[in-house]
Amino acid sequence: MNIQRAKQEIKDTIEAYLDKDEYGAYRIPEIRQRPVLLMGPPGVGKTQIMEQIASECDIGLVAYTITHHTRQSAIGLPYIEKKTYGGNEVSVTQYTMSEIIASVYDRMEVSGKSEGILFIDEINCVSETLAPTMLQFLQCKTFGNQKVPKGWIIVAAGNPPEYNKSVRDFDVVTLDRVKVIDVEADYPVWRKYADQAGIHGAVISYLNIHRDNFYRCETTVDGMRFVTARGWEDLSEMLYAYERLGKTMDEDVVGQYLQYPSIAKDFANYLELYNRYQKDYQVDEILSGVIRPGTLSKLRYAAFDERVEIVSLLLSRLSADFKNWWETDRYVGHLYAILKEFQRRSLPSAADGTAPTDTSSASQAHTTLADKASAFSADTARSVSENEASYTSILESIVNDLKLQVHSRLDAGQSEKALTAEYRPVFQACDRYVLLLSERIPENSGAAFDLLRESFMKDRERLDAAAERTSARLEYAFDFMEAAFGESQEMVYFITELSVSLYAMDFLKEHESPRYYRYNKSLLFDDAQTGIRRQLDDIRSEMRGE
């Protein structure tokens, strides 16, 4: 199965294992809660989905790559303890608590979550001395003499033997005690992830045409040749860095990430064309509404792969616009929730019954933000005998509550990078709000709220501007697509790629594009999709010399 299906399978397993009866006991007894063993090639996202699962299930996460550990760190260190048996005192070997088990208890203490996932990566690549410990761990859910705490689900991951010479096979006794999920590399699933992760447009457009090069792993007389999803993502980060620094990436640099020489060479050549097409076709001009007759004339005689590449360049630019709108929308949604909570705490009688009572509802606020923003009423201004210090303290208290929620998610093992990207601009805006209250010293709570509302509406204008710009650029893209290609396979490709983009779909739900829906309805029949896939397959066959 693909990694997306595997993720859902693990989530379903966790929900089943953590389901409790009316007395608070787990319905599936602990002895029947088989550890999940996730087997698949390296770099397909096995480790990455664990953070997502922990976040979505609101549980803790402790992750270890077991090959980095020794037997002592896994089972603990021995010590001598005196015991009396039958009236005789004897010395008995005991073990300190395993570092891994201790980490689970530490995570429970700092996060406040009593349930979670203990994830052990590369479990079948351990040393000979540690192998029996791993078998005991999977069979008995213990490290040494210490059990994994109740409510913590064991998920382990490993690579099949064809990808790693140090892999050890599990015996039947062990396999009969685990729930095995086999994962395969799947480009369409990764493509959806790539859109959310902001993978470089050159990588996405190349792989859209050369899907066979997404994941390859072969053993040759010269050694291993491979390219993985992880390699493409790391290469994407370096591409962005080279662009910022004004550097040119060549085949040698590409080969440091795509360790499959023919694919590295092919992508390096493609990257050169990608950069050249950006200059030749002036994509930014097209998205500004400028369509040069020379561009249309040149495309009429261009090969199919070049035409698809121009569409990919348009999609790459639009993808950045959709993502910017989505992030701005989320940012403004968090601020809206904070201001509504400020309104509730400072003006209790002004609450309309629909205001969120805590900042955790911020993620739900952005979808109807335009309607909610208009609900901020000027008639909430009333004289209240409070000084300005109380208003700043109210706002700071709300922000501190939100920071505690974020820290709790970090303590539970969620991604620091993702949470920082989401909340850093929100906290920076709140610092501005606090400074505004301190400098302007409002006379009453109504005036304090109006000050914050006025500043918020400027942030709200950013969202309107982002939406207006994105809508305009999408319409200009349609203008160009109609002028250059009409209702062609290139238009099918354009509509199809918009339809698989999370950010594009979120945008189109709130900002209607009649042409998108018209083309989506009229073009995306099976025969149209089959036609473009057939042509793309032909290109791949030509590239392979078939």
At 500-540, the pLDDT tens digits run 888 888 899 888 888 888 888 776 544 445 555 555 555 55
Does residue 28 register a pLDDT over 50? yes
Instruction: Give the number of other CB atoms < 10 A from CB of residue 518.
Output: 12
Q: Which two tokens stand for residue 20?
A: 């409790």
Does residue 307 register a pLDDT over 60? yes
Distance separating alpha carbons of residues 414 and 52, to the nearest angstrom: 8
Distance separating alpha carbons of residues 170 and 151, to the nearest angstrom: 25
Chain position carrying tokens 């010293």: 441
Burial of 349 (C-beta count, 10 Å sphere; 0-12/13-18/19+): exposed
Smallest Cα–Cα separation from 226: which of 182, 200, 194, 263?
263
Distance separating alpha carbons of residues 136 and 178, to the nearest angstrom: 12
Does residue 245 register a pLDDT over 80? yes
Local structure of 394: helix, strand or coil: helix
Adjacent-strand bridge partners of 36: 155, 179
Question: Tens digit of pLDDT for each residue in 357-411?
Answer: 344 333 344 444 444 444 443 333 333 334 445 888 888 888 888 888 888 777 7
**Spatial CB neighbours of 394, under 8 Å, sequence gap ≥ 6:** 342, 345, 346
Does residue 469 register a pLDDT over 90? yes
If DSSP states are collapsed to H, E and C, what string results for 428-491?
HHHHHHHHHHHHHCCCCHHHHHHHHHHHHHHHHHHHHHHHHHHHHHHHHHHHHHHHHCCCCHHH
Q: Which two tokens stand for residue 509?
A: 């739900």
To the nearest 10°, the Cα dihedral for 507, 510, 515, 519?
70
H or E element in which residue 78 lies? strand 78-85
pLDDT value for 77: 77
pTM, two decimal places:
0.66
Contact between 33 and 153 (Cβ < 8 Å): yes
Q: How far is CA 161 from CA 42, 166, 178, 252, in A?
A: 11, 8, 18, 29
pLDDT value for 320: 87
Question: Tens digit of pLDDT for each residue in 286-299?
Answer: 888 888 888 888 88
Question: Tens digit of pLDDT for each residue in 152-194?
Answer: 888 888 877 666 666 667 767 777 778 888 888 888 888 878 8
Does residue 6 register a pLDDT over 80? yes
Burial of 343 (C-beta count, 10 Å sphere; 0-12/13-18/19+): buried
Q: Is the pLDDT higher at 420 or at 522?
A: 420
Q: Which two tokens stand for residue 132?
A: 């029996």
Adjacent-strand bridge partners of 88: 85
Contact between 292 and 282 (Cβ < 8 Å): yes
For 215, half-sphere exposure in the C-beta direction (CA atoms, 13 angstrom radius) is 20
Does residue 420 register a pLDDT over 90? no
**Domains of the chain by start residue, with CATH:** 3-70+104-184 (3.40.50.300), 186-280 (no CATH), 331-462 (no CATH)
Contact between 314 and 480 (Cβ < 8 Å): yes
Adjacent-strand bridge partners of 37: 156, 180
If DSSP states are collapsed to H, E and C, what string results for 152-181?
EEEEEEECCHHHCCCCCCCCHHHHCCCEEE
pLDDT band for 230, please (50, 70, 90 cuts): confident
